[in-house]
Structure 1
Amino acid sequence: MTDPIRVLLVDDHAMLRAGFRTILEIQPDITVVGEASTGAEAVAQASVLKPDVICMDVQMPDMDGIEATRQIVAAPEVHAAIAIVTTFDRDDYLFSALDAGASGFLLKNSGPEDLVAAVRVLAAGDGMLAPEVTRRVVQRFATPAATESAPTASRPALTLAEPLTDREAEVLELLTEAMSNAEIAARLFIGEATVKTHISRILQKLGAGDRVQAVVLALRHGLA
């Protein structure tokens, strides 16, 4: 029997934390190991509790969730994936969270099943963005408009340890379209295990921690 997924809940509203705890702890494979009401508490508890996944609010006293995410990701002793869970569907929160190292972005008006799915996906080492959020990431980092005189000038170079193969490039392109492993497998007529292998190689070559970071890097550097 595998160990349950260890989750740390971070939100300055006790009732929301209680609701999230109830949703998650009825799942046999998830346990909530702690709660924090500020970003500073989250940083301290992440170091002590070593959670697998952290559900992180943005607007909190003392330290906001974006800065807390940045500090937790930078801590060598912590290996938690962080999902930003916020009321505010704002681009500045979204892109700041991704830049800080978050692996997921979820709105608080999402269904309980979305929260459970996000925890499981992040614990498995993948990232999770809603399709509409992924489209905004694509728009943010998409190729500059044709009206620009130097369309490649704004693309910073990304040096890969090893070039992507043609198949890996195809898989990366489909990742930017928010496709699941099963959807990618069906599109390319290959098995899901093969898709997972390609994604693992893509992450390694890009130096990305998960598929969300891979998508951001790919779009930012013109790889997709």
Structure 2
Amino acid sequence: MTDPDERRIRVVLADDHTLFRDGLAELIQTDPAFHVVGQAADGDKVLELAPALRPDIVIVDVEMPGPGAREVVSRLRRLCPEATVIVLTMHQNSRIVQELLDCGAAAYLVKNIARDQLIAALHAVNQSPRNVLLSVARETLGRGDRDAGSRPLSAREMEVLRLTADAYSNSQIATRLGITEATVKRHLSNIYAKLGAVSRVDSVRKAMAARLINPVIDSGRDGDRPPG
């Protein structure tokens, strides 16, 4: 007798927030067509799990530990060519959208998407993997590279950016500034959008190029750096 799970659409989730990831798994499996076969909290883990689990769909976040989103999407497409990669994130940035689609993502969805829209999107990309599916604000697509770096960073965003350049983690930045990790992530999202960056490293590189911060090697603050 055929195992019923073998007929279901296999999904792997990658997001560094356990509560969100568990809730997303439960939500997806309210549709009997789907079976969440694995979860990962960082880019390295999803790259390890996906080839072994042979998913039909891999859902990844943009901002999580490990390799950057572009590398994760590109390597997933090479390691699991039969799998469809969906980006599910809070970031709405035209450059990030375009670069991840260029890397092979089949869909770019924002986390405020409704449950029914998410389920419909999963069915759509599974049925037509060659099509591209977007769920972002219309004005996001209207912002080109000409807008990158045109909006100044706030004082708090500059603090977060400097600590990011000094290799502090989100939790360390939150502790140092007396804010929550969610607030740190929101500041990073704003920084990415304003600088036209797609990752922590990219934001630091662009900030140094724009002379918003000094090169890290010249910062002279080794005593303030977190332990390796």
1:97 aligns with 2:100: yes
- Structure 2 equivalent of residue 60 of structure 1: 64
Q: Which segments of 5 or more consecutive residues in structure 2 lack a partner in the other structure?
A: 145-228
Q: TM-score, normalised by structure 1?
A: 0.57
* Secondary structure of residue in 1 paired with 2:7: coil
- Matching residue within 70, 74, 86 for 2:78: 74
Contact 2:113–2:135 under 8 Å retained in 1: no
Alpha carbons 1:85, 1:107 under 8 Å: kept:
yes
User: Deviations for 1:5-52, whole angstroms, at most 9, x for unmatched residues?
Assistant: 110001010011011111111111111010011111111111100100
One-letter code of the match for 1:120? H
Q: How far is the alpha carbon of 1:67 from its aligned partner?
A: 1.2
Displacement after TM superposition at 1:130 (Å)? 2.9
Residues 141-171 of structure 1, C-alpha deviations (whole Å, 9 max, x = no match): xxxxxxxxxxxxxxxxxxxxxxxxxxxxxxx
Match of 1:15, SS?
A: helix
Report the equivalent of 1:174. Answer: none
Following TM superposition, by how much is the alpha carbon of 1:92 offset from its aligned partner in structure 2, in angstroms?
A: 2.2
- 1:128 aligns to what? 133
The alignment-based identity, stated in percent, is: 27
SS for the counterpart of 1:8 is strand
Count of aligned positions: 139
Structure 1 residue 132, shift from structure 2 partner: 4.5
Deviation at 1:133, TM superposition (A): 5.4
Q: How far 1:131 sits from its partner (Å)?
A: 7.1
Q: Is the 8 A contact 1:83 1:104 kept in 2?
A: yes
1:33 corresponds to which letter in structure 2?
Answer: V
Please give the alpha-carbon distance, in whole angstroms, between the structure 2 residues aligned to 1:133 and 1:103. Answer: 18
Q: Look up the match of 1:111.
A: 114
Contact map agreement 2:40 2:46 (CA 8 A) in 1: yes
What is the one-letter code of the residue matched to 1:63?
Answer: P
13 and 63 in structure 1: CA distance in 2 versus 1, 3 angstrom threshold: same
What's the counterpart of residue 28 of structure 2? 24
Give 1:38's aligned residue. Answer: 42
Q: Tell me the secondary structure at the aligned position of residue 19 of structure 2.
A: helix
Give me the whole-angstrom Cα distance separating, in 1, the residues matched to 2:108 and 2:90: 11
Which stretch shows the higher mean deviation, 61-70 or 6-15? Answer: 61-70
Alignment of 1:1-224 (within 5 A): 3-75=7-79, 77-124=80-127, 125=129, 126-130=131-135, 132=137, 136=141
Q: Conserved in 2, the CA contact under 8 Å of 1:39 and 1:68?
A: yes
TM-score normalised by the chain length of structure 2: 0.56
Please tell me the root mean square deviation across aligned C-alpha atoms, in Å. 2.4
Whether the 8 Å contact between 1:121 and 1:127 is mirrored in structure 2 is no
> Is the contact between residue 92 and residue 140 of structure 2 (CA under 8 Å) also seen in structure 1?
no
Contact 2:109/2:136 (8 A) holds in 1: no
| SS, match of residue 108 in structure 2 | strand
8 Å contact kept, 1:11–1:60: yes
Cα separation, partners in 2 of 1:49 and 1:134, compared to 1, 3 Å? farther
Q: Residues 135 and 15 from structure 1, CA distance in 2 versus in 1: closer, same or farther, beyond 3 angstroms?
A: closer
Match for 1:129: what amino acid? L
Question: CA distance change for structure 1 residues 28 and 134 in 2, over 3 Å: closer, same or farther?
Answer: farther
Q: Distance in 1 between matches of 2:14 and 2:27?
A: 15
Shift of 1:91: 1.5
CA distance in 2, matches of 1:57, 1:131: 15
